[in-house]
Amino acid sequence: MNKSHVTLSLVAVAALALAGCASRQQTSMGAGASTAAVTTTTSTSATSTTTPAAAARLSAADLQFVAQAAGAGMYEVEASRVALTRAADPQVRAYAQMLVDHHTANNNELMALVGRKGHRIAPGLPAPLQQKVTMLQGLSGAAFDREFIRNTGVQDHMAAINAFQQSRSTVADRDLQAFIDKTLPTLQAHLKQAQDLAGRIAG
């Protein structure tokens, strides 16, 4: 039995979770950032449940959103794991644990969704997002708390909300639309909590 595999590497032109996104809310996910790689595997096997037609269900806009959302979600988890050991404020650590829990669940849901459609999200953070995690690893205590809440908590979630809202009108796949609708309130709640924490830390 012969199988052929076609791999598509999607590198979108915008991404979530870049510092400074909050000051450019009119952009989608932060211009110039790398995103997660999305691969598409099709099979000509008669017994395969993944067909070229099934894999083609996601449009270019759908795949761009998947790459952006996946990269940002993985970054939120990794940055928050750093916060669990580097943050000084117990409320910041509690916020970080919530982000780990919520974004891990969201990431798993997104991976399962695209997997059913013949696609796979490659593991590992894109280089620019890994650099942000490395930057956080160099901080500790109150300095870490301020940077983590300002960047990961406020700016990145503002960018994510804008991106999800804009993608809602460009994404064609109904399952991805439902994922956006389900995830947006969670992102908005994360932003509100980060803003509250930022005000308390600054005050």
Q: Which domain holds residue 38?
A: 21-202
Closest CA to 95 of 104, 109, 84: 84
Residue 23 has pLDDT above 60, yes or no: no
State mean pLDDT over 33-40: 69
- Mean pLDDT, the chain, rounded, equals 81
Q: Is 4 a domain residue?
A: no
Q: Which residue has the higher pLDDT, 14 or 109?
A: 109
CA distance linking residue 4 with residue 27, whole number of Å: 38
Least confident range from 10-14, 52-56, 115-119, 148-152: namely 10-14
Residue 44's pLDDT is what? 30
Q: Is 177 a domain residue?
A: yes
Residue 38's pLDDT is what? 78
Q: Is 71 a domain residue?
A: yes
CA distance linking residue 41 with residue 7, whole number of Å: 6
Q: Is 15 a domain residue?
A: no
Q: Which residue has the higher pLDDT, 163 or 24?
A: 163
Q: Which residue has the higher pLDDT, 77 or 38?
A: 77
State mean pLDDT over 159-185: 97
Q: Is 30 a domain residue?
A: yes
Per the structure, the count of domains in the chain is 1
State mean pLDDT over 60-77: 96
State mean pLDDT over 164-190: 97
Q: Is 101 a domain residue?
A: yes
Burial of 127 (0-12, 13-18, 19+ CB in 10 A): exposed
Q: Is 2 a domain residue?
A: no
- Predicted TM-score (pTM) of the model is 0.77
Strands 119-121 and 38-40: antiparallel
Give residue-wise pLDDT tens across range 89-129: 999 999 999 999 999 999 999 999 999 999 999 888 999 99
Residue 51 has pLDDT above 80, yes or no: no
Domain CATH number, residue 192 = 1.20.1260.10
Q: How confident is the model at residue 49 (pLDDT cuts 50, 70, 90)?
A: very low
Q: How confident is the model at residue 1 (pLDDT cuts 50, 70, 90)?
A: very low
Q: Is 136 a domain residue?
A: yes
Long-range contacts from 116-119, C-beta under 8 angstroms, 24+ separation:
117/54, 117/55, 117/57, 117/58, 117/173, 117/175, 118/40, 118/41, 118/42, 118/50, 118/51, 118/54, 118/55, 118/57, 119/38, 119/39, 119/40, 119/41, 119/55, 119/58, 119/63, 119/66
